[in-house]
Structure 1
Amino acid sequence: MERLALLRSFSCSTTAGRTLIFGGRARCDRSFPAHFKQRQQFHQHRQLRHPLSQPSAALRRRWAGAGASPGLRRAFSFSPQAVSTSPTQASPGADESSNIAEKLGFKKISEEVIDECKSTAVLYKHLKTGAEIMSVINDDENKVFGIVFRTPPKDSTGIPHILEHSVLCGSRKYPLKEPFVELLKGSLHTFLNAFTYPDRTCYPVASTNIKDFYNLVDVYLDAVFFPKCVEDFHTFQQEGWHYELNDPSEEISFKGVVFNEMKGVYSQPDNILGRVCQQALFPDNTYGVDSGGDPKVIPKLTFEEFKDFHRKYYHPSNAKIWFYGDDDPNERLRILSANLDQYDKSPVSNESRIEPQKLFSTPVRVMEKYPAGEGDDNKKKHMVCLNWLLSAETLDLETELAIGFLDHLLLGTPASPLRRILLESRLGDAIVGGGVGDELLQPQFSIGLKGVAEEDLQKVEELIMSTLKKLAAEGFDSEAVEASMNTIEFSLRENNTGSFPRGLSLMLRSIGKWIYDKDPFEPLKYEKPLQSLKARIAAEGSKTVFCPLIEKFILNNPHCVTVEMQPDPEIASQEEAAERQILENVKSSMTQEDLAELARATQELRLRQETPDSPEALKCVPSLSLDDIPRKPIQVPTEIAEVNGVKVLQHDLFTNDVLYAEVVFDLRHLKQDLLPLIPLFCQSLLEMGTKDLDFVQLNQLIGRKTGGISIYPFTSSVRGKAEPCSHVIVRGKAMGGRVEDLFNLIRCILQDVQFTDQQRFKQFVSQSKARMESRLRGSGHAIAAARMDAKLNAAGWISEQFGGISYLEFLQDLEKKVDKEWSEISSSLDAIRSCLLSREGCIVNMTADGKILTESRKYLAGFIDAIPSAPSPGATSWSSLLSPINEAIVVPTQVNYVGKAANIYESGYQLHGSSYVISKYIGNTWLWDRVRVSGGAYGGFCDFDTHSGVFSYLSYRDPNLLKTLDVYDATANFLRELELDDDTLTKAIIGTIGDVDSYQLPDAKGYSSLMRHLLGITEEERQIRREEILSTSVKHFREFADVIEVVKDKGIVVAVASADDVAKANEEKGGFFEVKKVL
């Protein structure tokens, strides 16, 4: 289903899709996974990490196999624990701080030591305005600031979303077009974005550099309180919507960044389902409309309504403000005082309160259609989802925690009974709904299936209800309860938020109560309710704890909405025709003078968008200097040893008593025809049973003994080598006292799992196919990128076999063969294992503190002894590439994803660190301005894969196709004509270093070091590249223009696009695209 919040910035960063600091390319690594796992609407639009720094979130999220349920992760697992090793107590100067607060106009409401996150938290109120401030003090260098406003919409014009985009387009102190983009270019931020929820809007920033952090805070505070957009109609048009007419003789069209973003959202079946479910559950309050905006309704929004919304809700009296980290708490208040004192108190905090939805007395049924491709396959493309609103009011923390545990028990792992029974029924392809949603005022529970035949819809509903009734009567297996308890408690105590700042995770947890005027401290303190729940389970039994929750909140709850989604191959074209008719009516109602004026206004807007800010305006944005930048790259302690013939990398880092381990196996000995089976092989290892344990028991054992085990393929080009680097990586983590269990379980999974369960394998194929089909429409840019790579280099071709169009076609064919050819398929899985499991080429990577590493060696030796030592056959030659033709992947969509790429190494380019600076600059200037701002796409960016040499352009939710290609082709001339002053160049360099030095938790540091080892990247090379980055000059920009000219002249184009747009392009350019349909 849709996720909850809408992100502002789908960055044009050059680093889109690259994974490590000189790191390799994971399969489908441009997928831009979301920061959060919320089940509601959250549109991915964020800055991306630099390839020189860390593994992608796509790799980090591979832990999810045994992770906490989405509901639990939202409510508890992101307790942002500071990096300090002991709780921060109230400072000795607490009285002095209190006096300073009073002098600055703040009253201390309460203060608590939060042991769970090793912090002291102080809640203040600004006396003049009533603004509330949470000041969290600890030793975490990754400082976070956020300001949140309650912004309940009354309709689906998308006004909160458009305003969230617009306020960052210039302000009183920073009157340039987009200070946000200037910060993207030249800041050391570890987070910089904004997002819109159904009832609130958040503006967070984070940085480890104190000077940079306060710069970010100042820009954001000025942006939300004093934005230019409330006086500037052009910003409203650009970010929201406007009529576009280039010439009176042409057709009028709708344009606008949010408008096109939401057209993309409304093209995705899972998103449509999520929207329908939410609006049907909440018909009577603000959640019954779409805060992101319905494309059919967005053009009804007026500039006056837009201005009034800001005037009403963007007021300190309606604000919750958050500071977190190791900066001076008194300085926080000084900064806020200077901004807040300019306001008087407003009654808006009462007017913005969210009214709860009253519970239904009888269930409701809703039917909706969604755009689907043509073909008989639509007979099995229905979706059905059952949804319950769990309570008329917010729940106490212990009940929330218990429901989160219940959610994990029901759905959290492949062995969870509700999830397992639904998938084993073969009534559908994949789960929809996502379980508990607790981000809004009232919690919900949703569950269903997609890929269902129309005649089976009722069977799915009956199966859901009968399974829940059975579980309510019989309870859960004790091992399942123990596994869930360990998994969730491990997640809470490990507190691994990946690249997402811990302080921001903590803020979002707190704001989930605070925004509704509840206790903001309560969500941060999980220990007491956790221990109380564990004691109840021990004393009364899990059946007494969990079964009544199923009865009360689900089975006996009349507030139930059943949503049925029907595939309709005509609806997309009908909606496009309806939009064209609206625009034709608009045009026919205009006089010739009106049309001439609209054409003039269109040109005026475009001229404004394409006119750069003056040097004077740019200088007003605060920035760092090169003197603030360390000259050496961040070092990760690495010791390399050999254990029984296997290379072992060890990283002595503080991990809070957790061992992180990776076992790497070489894929280069595998026959080429077996490659497409690798993702299913990896899933089978984790989700099939052994001779002694069925897969449910095996999954429960993993949950009880470890923090999770995941398995996935990794492939990358290696610069200077013809052959790619290709591996299967097993990742696991466990507490220090469970290291032996971890290695025993990894050995069991690799060697003892039996590939004999035909029905489960059929489930894997159907689930994978459903995921790929969903990804094709929601992440078309990733599909296009993978397809271009597959046409340009061997590593790209291999990766596309694991997660691109080729893989989808393989799955579609395999689904028809499983029953007839199961014996051969099972034998192939065994053949992959026999080829893969060898000490030759095997590497083990471990990250933990020194004591745990020392204790782990004895268990590691036994594990390695169990790996076959016989030499593998020689490396196999994989030499297949896709045909280098321009290709359009046609899907039912209202927006396009347009890519163009070429290999610049083949034209003689030698890697230089300046390319990172230049690529990032292209993305944050030329492509941002022309593809997003002028073109109306939600995102436009470029990517230079320094391992393969592929330089690519990509757009995201783009209303254009050929026009976007014209922008790409003009990039070299943009560089040639570019005039860079010293300040602009310095910002570009600093921003690139910010990507390179992006903040990492210990597990990511160890993993990045492993990737560098696999790809042959030395510390000497890292230092050379850093020096080249720091010494980048205008001359390098000019030279790079000639380098990327090859993309214009010889580049391959792949677009994921609508049939109409592809047909128009082929008509205009004489069969430019070869058309491919896969849905």
Structure 2
Amino acid sequence: MSERQWALGDEVSGFQLVEISTLPEYKGIGYLFRHIETGMEVFQVVNEDSELFFSYVFKTLPGNDCGIAHILEHCVLAGSARYPVRDPFMTLLKGSTNTFMNAMTYPDKTLYPAASPLKKDFDNLFSVYTDAVFAPLLREETFWQEGVRLVTDGENLHFEGVVYNEMLGDSSDHDSIVGKSSVRSLFPDTPYAFESGGNPEQIVRLDYQQFLSFYSQFYHPSNCKLFLFGDLPVGEKLAYLDQEYLKTRGSLRVNSTCKLAKGWKQERSVTFTSPMEEGQTKESSSVVLCWATGEVTDSLALITLSTLVDILLGNPAAPLYKALLDSGLGLDISPESGMSADFRQMPFLVGFKGIDAQKAEQARACILNSLADIIKQGLDSELVASSLKRARFKQLEIPGGMPNGLRALNRSLRGWIFDLGPSATIQSAPLLEELERKLQENPRYFEDWMQVNLIDNPHRCLVTVKGDAEHQKRQSDSIARYAQQVKEELGKKGMKQIALQNERFAAFENEGDTPQALATVPYLRLSDLPGTIKPNTHDHVLAGGRDLFIRPQFCNQIVYADISLDIADFSERELLLLPFYTRLVQMTGMGELSYVQVATKLKHLTGDFNLFVEMGSSCNDEDVLVLLCRAKMLVEDFEEAMHFIQRLLFEAKVDDLKQIKQVLNNYKTDFADSITYSAHSFASLCAASVFSPVQYEGEQLSGLHQWFFLDALTDDDLPQLAEQMLALQQKLNNRNRLITHLSCDEQTVPSLIPVVDRFVLGFEDKGPVIAKKRSYDAVSKGEVHEVQLYRLPSTVSYAAYALRTSARGSIEQAAQVLLGQILSGNDLWEVIRGQGGAYGVSATADVMEQVFVFSTYRDPRIIGSLSDFKRVLATYATEAVDAKHIENALISTVGSELKPLSPGQDSILSFRRLLYKISDEFRLMRREQLLGMDSDKLNRGAQALLQSAEMEDSYVVLAGSQLLEAEKMKHPMLDRPSIRLPL
């Protein structure tokens, strides 16, 4: 089929080719096919990308806050006609080399995307996903598990369910409430007024028949779009789709395109509440002003607004960001500030976090006056040029972080979902060219756009979200009242029916899948994987007398520079200060330049610039502590950029008291912003910190204790802090600290080495760096059972349980690595997620740090989940492990190295392997250990973990006070004081 010459109007397998588009940005051609009978559209981008990608897309408009679209997204991938297992998604995940596999609910659509670099794996994923979306079983038990179910504990009723618990966690997040409330307030007469993810108070009102009806309404092929991307034959999958799923389905008229909101004639104001722990200050509110701007299908409006967001809010030196900070009304701007392309009309939000709600009108005036001043004075031409250059850089760079197909899909849906062709919005380069033409024709194009779409636009809303200690109680009381209402309506006979349903659900959970059902799911075999590792090769030279490692590869005229400075000689106090120092260097002036000028220059010279502390254990058991400076720049800018970075490291005004105060507020709010979605990561970092000095230091520098340290700093501490910052700057200026790494096009190497040589020689020679011996009382000396409890405003928990693995490089540790994969995808998923209702659960072994961590995310339980983990682990110490579990875990573990990496990703990975002395020989040894794994070795690995737990373990829980209080009755380990997080 790939040899065929295609022309518009061609018919194949029930489809007609209706569009062919050249897509130079993706080095490919797009083919749009439409199924003649159902109207289903398939858009295939054919190019040489080896990461094969597909996604099904359904327009799913919510009509209430029950979260049907979200629950359905979970349930669709939970068994289908051809693959009748309870969770083919997880079954596939166990034995796949996928590089992306998910399902996602948006405000007006649901996506089912997956990607893999292996064609056989891609075909397996496609088959299972296709049957899932077109022939799901949608069992009532699945609805109870993934969505919501009534549970009776005798006399009383309460609710459980994965999505229900997920949204309990989401509804506890202040920033999430700010963002969602803003959009809902802007579009009250559209489906965007409803919460597509679900409001817990409304999720409990959803019934199974409503759920089935929603599927029937929106999951017909007539409402489906399929996106294919990569090195596949043209027309791939069309015959399969028509023969197996489409030819007998007929056509259905589905009203699924979100309508436009009716324009407002005057601004509105609304107020909401969010959870707050007792003791938080009144400055725990957010005030944002939000606008409804142009349609997302207007590509010029899209790139105009997205570029403006970068210009106005791209960093704390950006003009609108800086104006809001300088006002002193709040601690920082709201992290929800910016724009979104996930709605038909693009919302633009800007405002304050950490503000007194009584100052809402002052905040509104500040925002509007700041915008008016910016428009009147005009945007700085250098800033505009720098933002446009950064945008061009992003187009030139080979991207990473997500499959190229997913990035292309997201762009195409901006038009495709609103009944334009997918090619109408898939490319970005022409948009940037059009924007530049507009600016040439009218240098005040941005200012005029802001005047029309912001200042003169009455379709805007002032949103205040106030912290309220009673917020969660009101939510809990509302759900409890509804449960009581249901109980009264059911009566005794109905309660018995609920009890029978609970028994039926328990049986469903416990019976598992039959061997016959499991045999239907297609798997890879180990023989499908390549048997070698990709070597970590470098050229090594000296530059300025220091090591320079070069990794030549195709980078499309971009240089990725990593500069490490050894900080092993720093004291405990100096290390504790370093994260703040790295933030300050990136948020202050330099020499004669203001912070605004520095930020603008960095944006002009680099595609990105970061400075952070990197630390961990090396393969030879040495602690690695470095300050890592990462930058990427065009080859033509390399010399100027390196010189500017060197000046910044030496001349940054790190004693500027005004900037120190702003950075302190910015850093504190960053922690507060990330806590809800990263609470399990904070718990894991904290739990592991007792096992070695370097892990303890890592937690002190980037975990909860860094947050507590920052929170304790006051205005009185700032002068001393300024002196300490200067001292750090001077101490770092020593060329003997340096190791440099470059990834670049091979032909550019000769011109880059002299630049690095001059960069290194620009540092002073202060003699060798002598590592300082640091010891900490909190680090285990071989026997500790640590329990730490922290409070945050949430009705669910985030917990981590840590213990030591066996020695790095041992067979037992390799077994523990594989055990983590097996446990996460099998027993723990089934028991803690499926039965317990946690949204997420994982078990992982950190090879380098020699720590095994079990963690849960948005979990309605605490003790029950920990007990389940210990019980499951104990079974793996004695019982034979299914050979298929082992093979699947090996495929996932070994196959993870097949993921295509962008030059930027490859660069930092290869440099870290050098820093931590992870040799190819060690990597190959681990690969061989894993491939030689069997049940006996896994048993020994589990036994070693259990023995380790008897000697030393660590348990950290972040949860709301109500849940902690309820759970302490189940185990005395929780009957201890908890620490309130500094929110």
Same topology, TM > 0.5: yes
Equivalent of 1:1010 in 894, 899, 911: 911
User: How do residues 732-747 of structure 1 correspond to structure 2 at under 5 angstroms?
Assistant: 732-747=631-646
* 1:962 matches 2:863: yes
Quick check: 735-744 or 1039-1048, which moved more? 1039-1048
Q: Deviations over 1:785-828 (max 9, x none)?
A: 111122222222112222222111111111x1xx3233321121
Distance in 2 (CA, whole Å) between partners of 1:911 and 1:734 is 44
- The more displaced of 509-518 and 1032-1041 is 1032-1041
- In the alignment, which residue of structure 2 is the partner of 1:861? 757
Equivalent runs, 1:143-162 vs 2, <5 Å: 143-162=52-71
Structure 1 window deviating more from structure 2 (207-216 vs 791-800): it is: 791-800
The answer on whether the counterparts of 2:134 and 2:245 sit within 8 Å (CA) in structure 1 is: no
Deviation, structure 1 residue 908: 12
Partners of 2:258 and 2:481 in 1: CA distance:
37
Equivalent in 804, 820, 823 of residue 719 of structure 2? 823
Provide Cα deviations, 1:808-858, integer angstroms capped at 9, x if missing partner. Answer: 1111111x1xx3233321121122223333222421111111112222111
- What secondary structure does 1:894 align onto? coil
* Distance apart, 1:129 and its partner CA: 0.9
Instruction: Answer whether contact 1:681 1:829 (CA < 8 A) is retained.
Output: yes
Matched, 1:803 2:699: no
* Structure 2 unmatched runs, 5+: none
The alignment's TM-score, normalised by the length of structure 1, stands at 0.88
Q: What SS class does the counterpart of residue 937 from structure 1 fall into? A: coil
Q: How big is each residue's C-alpha offset from its partner over 1:545-578, in whole Å with a ceiling of 9 and x where there is no partner?
A: 1111111111111111100111111222332233
1:780 and 1:1056 in contact (8 A); partners too? yes
Residues 661 and 718, structure 2, Cα contact 8 Å, conserved in 1: no
Residues 190 and 998, structure 1, Cα contact 8 Å, conserved in 2 = yes
Deviates more, 1:795-804 or 1:937-946: 795-804
Do residues 1076 (structure 1) and 969 (structure 2) align?
A: no
Q: In the aligned structure 1, how far is the partner of 2:688 from the partner of 2:321?
A: 36
| Alignment equivalent of 1:193, drawn from 71, 95, 102 | 102
Equivalent residue for 2:305?
403
- Give 1:998 deviation, angstroms: 2.6
CA drift at 1:384: 0.2
After TM superposition, give the deviation of residue 225 of structure 1 in Å: 0.3
User: Offset of 1:96 from its aligned partner?
Assistant: 5.7
**Structure 2: which amino acid aligns with 1:1076?**
I
Asked whether the equivalents of residues 41 and 225 of structure 2 are also in contact (C-alpha less than 8 Å), the reply is yes
1:216 aligns with 2:216: no
Which secondary structure state, in structure 2, belongs to the residue aligned with residue 656 of structure 1? coil
Would you say 1:751 and 2:650 are equivalent positions?
yes
Shift of residue 519 of structure 1?
A: 2.9
Distance across 1 between alignment mates of 2:894 and 2:253: 42
The answer to whether the 8 Å contact 2:49/2:231 transfers is yes
For the residues of structure 1 that align with 2:148 and 2:749, how far apart are their CA atoms?
A: 57
Q: Look up the match of 2:292.
A: 389
**In the alignment, what sits opposite 2:195?**
290
Distance (whole Å) between structure 2 residues aligned to residue 742 and residue 336 of structure 1: 52
Amino acid of the structure 1 residue aligned with 2:691: L
How far apart, CA to CA, are the structure 1 residues paired with 2:415 and 2:297?
Answer: 10
Q: For 1:571 and 1:940, how far apart are their aligned partners in 2?
A: 27
- Structure 1 segments unaligned to the other structure (5+ residues): 1-90
Which residue is equivalent to 1:640?
A: 540
5 Å-filtered alignment, 1:918-1067, equals 918-976=819-877, 978-1046=879-947, 1048-1049=949-950, 1050-1067=952-969
Whether the 8 Å CA contact 1:719–1:946 is kept in 2: the answer is no
Counterpart residue number, 1:27 = none
Residue 490 of structure 1 contacts residue 707 of structure 1 at CA under 8 Å; is this kept in 2? Answer: yes
Q: What is the aligned partner in structure 2 of residue 681 from structure 1?
A: 581
Q: Which moved more, 1:861-870 or 1:519-528?
A: 519-528
- Percent identity over the alignment is 27
Q: Match for 1:1060: what amino acid?
A: Q
- Are 1:413 and 2:312 counterparts? no
Instruction: State the secondary structure of the residue aligned to 1:732.
Output: strand
From 612, 615, 628, give the equivalent of 1:712.
612
1:243 counterpart letter in structure 2: L
For residue 218 of structure 2, the aligned residue among 307, 313, 323 is: 313
**Corresponding residue for 1:373?**
277
**Structure 1 residue 192 displacement after superposition:** 0.5
TM-superposed deviation, 1:596: 4.1
Instruction: Give the superposed CA RMSD.
Output: 2.0
Distance change >3 Å, CA 584–CA 411, structure 1 → 2: same
Kept after mapping to 2: 8 A contact 1:641/1:649: yes
CA 1:394–1:897: 2 relative to 1, 3 Å: closer
Is the Cα contact below 8 Å between 1:424 and 1:760 reproduced in 2?
no
Q: 1:875 aligns with which of 771, 776, 786?
A: 771
Q: Residues of 2 paired with 1:151 and 1:346: CA distance?
A: 17
Answer yes or no: is the 8 Å Cα contact 2:683–2:799 preserved in 1.
yes
Contact 1:499 1:999 in 2 (8 A): no
Say which SS state the counterpart of residue 288 (structure 2) adopts.
strand
Distance 2:116 2:7 in 1: 24
Q: Which moved more, 1:398-407 or 1:130-139?
A: 398-407
Task: Give the corresponding residue for 1:71.
Answer: none
User: Cα–Cα, structure 1 residues 729 and 456, in superposed 2: closer, same or farther, change >3 Å?
Assistant: same
**C-alpha deviation, 1:1003, in angstroms:** 1.7
Structure 2 CA distance, aligned partners of 1:234 and 1:395? 40
Q: Relative to 1, partners in 2 of residues 1:292 and 1:994: Cα closer, same or farther, differing over 3 Å?
A: same
Contact 1:186 1:992 in 2 (8 A): no
The residue type equivalent to 1:441 in the other structure is R
State yes or no: 1:700 paired with 2:600. Answer: yes
State the aligned residue count: 974
TM-score (norm 2): 0.96
Matched residue, 1:243 = 150
Aligned ranges for residues 424-573 of structure 1 at < 5 Å?
424-432=326-334, 433-496=336-399, 498-541=400-443, 543=444, 545-573=445-473
Return closer, same or farther for 1:1019/1:931 CA change in 2, 3 Å cut-off.
same
**Residue 1 of structure 2 corresponds to residue 95 of structure 1:** no
1 or 2 for the larger relative contact order (CA 8 Å, sep ≥6)? 1
| SS across alignment from 1:464 | helix
Question: Residue 641 of structure 1: CA displacement?
Answer: 2.2
Q: 1:878-889 alignment to 2 at 5 Å? A: 878-880=774-776, 882=778, 885-889=786-790
Tell me, yes or no, if structure 1 residue 617 matches structure 2 residue 517: yes
Q: Tell me which moved more, 364-373 or 404-413.
A: 404-413
Kindly indicate whether the alpha-carbon contact (under 8 Å) linking 1:631 and 1:1027 is maintained by their aligned counterparts in 2.
no
| Structure 2: distance between partners of 1:253 and 1:719 | 50
Pick closer, same or farther for the CA change 1:1047–1:273 going to 2, 3 Å.
farther
* Equivalent in the alignment of 1:300: 205
- Cα deviation for residue 912 of structure 1 reads 4.2
For 1:957, what is the secondary structure of its paired residue?
Answer: strand
The secondary structure found in structure 2 opposite 1:253 is strand
Equivalent-residue separation in structure 1 for 2:6 and 2:347 (angstroms): 45
The answer to whether the aligner puts 1:358 opposite 2:262 as a matched pair is yes
- 1:275-303 deviations in whole A, cap 9, x for unaligned? 21111011011000000000000011111
Shift of residue 1074 of structure 1?
A: 4.0
Shift of 1:213: 0.5
1:1032 to partner: Cα distance: 1.5
Distance 1:705 1:416 in 2: 16
**Residues 912 and 1025 in structure 1, CA contact (< 8 A), matched pair in contact too:** no
Helix, strand or coil at the partner of 1:380: coil
Distance 2:395 2:462 in 1: 33
Q: Give the match's secondary structure for 1:882.
A: coil
Q: Is the 8 A contact 2:409 2:426 kept in 1?
A: no
Instruction: Give the superposition deviation at 1:739.
Output: 1.0
1:107 is matched with which residue: 12, 16, 24? 16
Q: Secondary structure at the match of 1:822?
A: helix
Question: How much has 1:116 moved relative to structure 2?
Answer: 1.6
Residue identity matched to 1:426: G
- Answer whether contact 1:794 1:881 (CA < 8 A) is retained: no
